[in-house]
Structure 1
């Protein structure tokens, strides 16, 4: 009798496990089908107020690509720079994103094509230790659809087994973007000057200092410094002209920021990379700014023209040196 009960229990367990297996198999199949559909819609999505710019950058070819944070987004006017240099220009700056995003996006770009010039608009906080280091990694979730790229995968999962497993589910890659993807099907593309966000002339708000301005005894983050170097060498290895820029601010920068800018200057000189520092009193006019560290449309036009001319002079000098050898 006990033997029969044991056999019966064993068979029930087998049936139960088989049902679980079939359920998981069906779940995986549904995930792959709908995930593939979302992936297709995501790749077709065009840029508008409801969508980011990655597809736009990766699907077209540009001579100059400018990376960075919201400061890059609001300071570089592609039409102005293009008219000065005679090159196609794309502003890949992004609100709320920093060095890790710029590096990941650069790697995606270089897999698609090789631009002539790469510019990184840098922040003093790009290489310092911050109170919540996880936050910058979490913001990379917008790049989850590109998880198949090894550098993007490494940053998103940080090599953790659980992180890699969850991204095997295709729908998980789009879990925060499903509504945006669906809304995007009804919206028309918004191609406002190759990625530049126009603010126009606005009232000045005395807010948004640099993060480093409120950090005491800032320390260099070795991992982020490594990423910054890789951003530069990835371009150099492909013979891309790369330059780092510190764009204008509305007031004199703090002692902490000055210290980091000096560190940058030494680093970039050792890597043979031009560092264009626009932290001068030439732009100490609040009529050119939206807040302490972001220019308005008037300021962006003025700076973009100055940047283009200074960069042009830099390239001409480099060409002259090469031709003399």
Structure 2
């Protein structure tokens, strides 16, 4: 495993991070989830990403139990706040009330005194940004989080938050967007802004919810038990990639992966890590062996010629429109 600085901060994180969205507390039983966490640790992964909303807070609790007994200073634990975690009007968003209550709930479930990174899971257009950043400043200054990050924010939103963070003397160091060979919407605006500000990307879904494993075949039904058949949320996210024109082009990547001595999934993860603004790629798993296999993408350097051939194959179907990032800001309070 290789390690990278998170943006321009001094924090080193494993360039493959383990995430438990759609798995812990939901798709995967706790024994299997714990086995996946153990496999991540065995592979040298020290960075673990979760969120209070995952599996209605259960994912944080499962991760906390799985990491219990590990040396805390040797781990980087990330979580997020924004989406509803209860029925009340204030159990959501980025108000001061919700942030201050949510950090305490997350720490309790994770069984830790602090998180290394506390992230705004979406931008809240219904709360003044000043209120949000001042609440984050209090979280940092109280020692409950070391760094602050955002997820799926636009370049303009990130710039305004970064300016306030500097005034408040807190480290805004990360952005967590979706990014893969097939979903490249951050490249035009978000990445240049973050490079300028010293903010690193922690990318989620580098395998495009499993499409870039090559297991989904054009004209065929999705494999039983796959993400595309998951009725707990996974199927909704993967649907956009299950068009035959996309699946046909993904199949063309198999020879390129073999040429590089990689599986198709490893090639997909390694591809995201070729972007110098990417600090880590988040991988999830339902089986321990998946973690070890994906972790082998760490340290891979892809030949420029191979990168060009990937571009030629996928350019007609890759999503690059930066307005897709703008669309991630909820139009109504969740």
**TM-score, normalising length: structure 2:** 0.31
Larger radius of gyration: 1
* Between structures 1 and 2, the one with greater helix share: 1
**TM-score, normalising length: structure 1:** 0.32
* Between structures 1 and 2, the one with greater strand share: 2
